[in-house]
Structure 1
């Protein structure tokens, strides 16, 4: 992972987000989820369900004994059940010892509105956390710095009066100021959804009006209409503070997993 202090990473599924944090955690990392707890857990449950393999889709090859004759019905049933359990087990549900130990030392905050987000960031202090510090003997693999990670930064602004260059800029400035004050790496990750057609590039090219409340959408369908007045791409707004990269979950080869790739907005 790049040592850049302010990163805007490609969208991630809830399970990919949690796996990333568990594997790249350094106390006192804080995860801020920009939604209600119920909404996030619902999305996570749906994500895990989508990634498991339905039992009816698992058709094991016919099993034979050394003599070449098929195994009996009971043995075949046992093989099928074992294969189903293995293929249906999501990686987050396997709970290896390191994953369990790490999760106890991660601070998770749920914030559903822009107003609450800015207020929380402006007074944030790691000293206020009740999450215990890991024992001195606990040395996670890799050399990672503490991080503050926001999941759904853009989503929390969308469909509100703060969905503008001004609104995004005000929130981003508060976040960056906090990162500087703590000397922590600051990361934004947007939610990804199964079967979504929106790419990282699409998100960065999305248009927003310049001023909060300064534009409105035209057309019979407000969701599909265009903005009135001057607009600017999200990527141009966020590029002032953040470096765009693809996350480790968004790579295609083992070599890519060793580093993220720069994005151009």
Structure 2
């Protein structure tokens, strides 16, 4: 993955995000959850314990119906096995994982106003998280991170859901990243049903100004917003590089490999 200082990664489930942090733990990495603690833990529990259909549980193909291609079935099994492995890793609590979690700062911030205020005064020296033993973390291979989970989701359905509102919050975050010289990452929550492609997240329209657009009703044929709008991706690309997370790249590589074989 690129070492770009400001990265916007594809959406991830909570379990995928936590495994990503465990693999790259560098003190004093800070994870900012853009929601309440209760909401995040409920989502995490639902994600980790969600039942994944095994191959034996797949409904039989009706007589005369076309069977799925072998490569497609193999890809489904591969994804299922990887998801199970990652979730079992969180539940198993190995010693290194427990030790790492004790040295990772996690903050819950449920509103845009509180987020901007927190970022404006953020300092690693204020953390009560203890310093890990020498050579414990992945220092040298990765820089410290400040990771925001649910940055866009926090702004959505508020008066700050606009290019102006996102820009105001992002500029505060970028200033902090420059000041700390940390890698700054945004990850949005991935939804189970229906899953939203990364491209659709970036193509979502927002008004230019806070309060400058009006959401059209659900019965409107046009949908979206009144007034001038801009895509989220165009707003965020001023600061961020867009990349797929490791939770997506392994599947993407496998699909491309299957297509090349075909």
Give yes or no for TM over 0.5: yes
1:2 maps to what in 2?
2
1:179 is the counterpart of 2:174: no
Larger helix percent:
2
2:65 maps to what in 1?
none
Kindly state the Cα deviation for residue 140 of structure 1 after the two structures are TM-superposed.
3.6
Counterparts of 2:207 and 2:153, CA distance in 1: 16
Q: TM-score, normalised by structure 1?
A: 0.79
Larger mean Cα displacement after TM superposition, 136-145 or 235-244: 136-145
Kindly state the Cα deviation for residue 97 of structure 1 after the two structures are TM-superposed.
2.0
1:96 maps to what in 2?
94
Kindly state the Cα deviation for residue 217 of structure 1 after the two structures are TM-superposed.
1.4
2:37 maps to what in 1?
37
Which of residues 108, 122, 132 in structure 2 aligns to 1:134?
132
Which of residues 235, 238, 245 in structure 1 aligns to 2:236?
238
Counterparts of 2:166 and 2:252, CA distance in 1: 35
Which of residues 196, 210, 213 in structure 1 aligns to 2:208?
210
- Native 8 Å contact 1:207 1:232 kept in 2: yes
Cα distance 1:212–1:140, how it changes in 2: closer, same or farther (>3 A)?
A: same
Counterparts of 1:96 and 1:141, CA distance in 2: 21
Kindly state the Cα deviation for residue 210 of structure 1 after the two structures are TM-superposed.
0.1
- Native 8 Å contact 2:26 2:137 kept in 1: no
1:168 is the counterpart of 2:169: no
Cα distance 1:255–1:201, how it changes in 2: closer, same or farther (>3 A)?
A: closer
Unaligned runs of 5+ in 2: 59-83, 255-262
Counterparts of 1:118 and 1:201, CA distance in 2: 27
Aligned residues, how many? Answer: 227
SS in structure 2 opposite 1:226?
coil
CA-to-aligned-CA distance 1:164-205 (integer Å, 9 cap, x gap): 000000000000000000000000000002122311000000
1:113 is the counterpart of 2:94: no
CA-to-aligned-CA distance 1:57-97 (integer Å, 9 cap, x gap): 59xxxxxxxxxxxxxxxxxxxxxxxxxxx99x722111122
1:27 maps to what in 2?
27
Counterparts of 2:193 and 2:139, CA distance in 1: 33
- Native 8 Å contact 2:207 2:227 kept in 1: yes
CA-to-aligned-CA distance 1:131-188 (integer Å, 9 cap, x gap): 0010114244871110100000000000000000000000000000000000000000
SS in structure 1 opposite 2:50?
helix
Kindly state the Cα deviation for residue 129 of structure 1 after the two structures are TM-superposed.
0.1
Q: TM-score, normalised by structure 2?
A: 0.80
Cα distance 1:115–1:2, how it changes in 2: closer, same or farther (>3 A)?
A: same
Kindly state the Cα deviation for residue 219 of structure 1 after the two structures are TM-superposed.
2.7
Counterparts of 1:253 and 1:122, CA distance in 2: 38
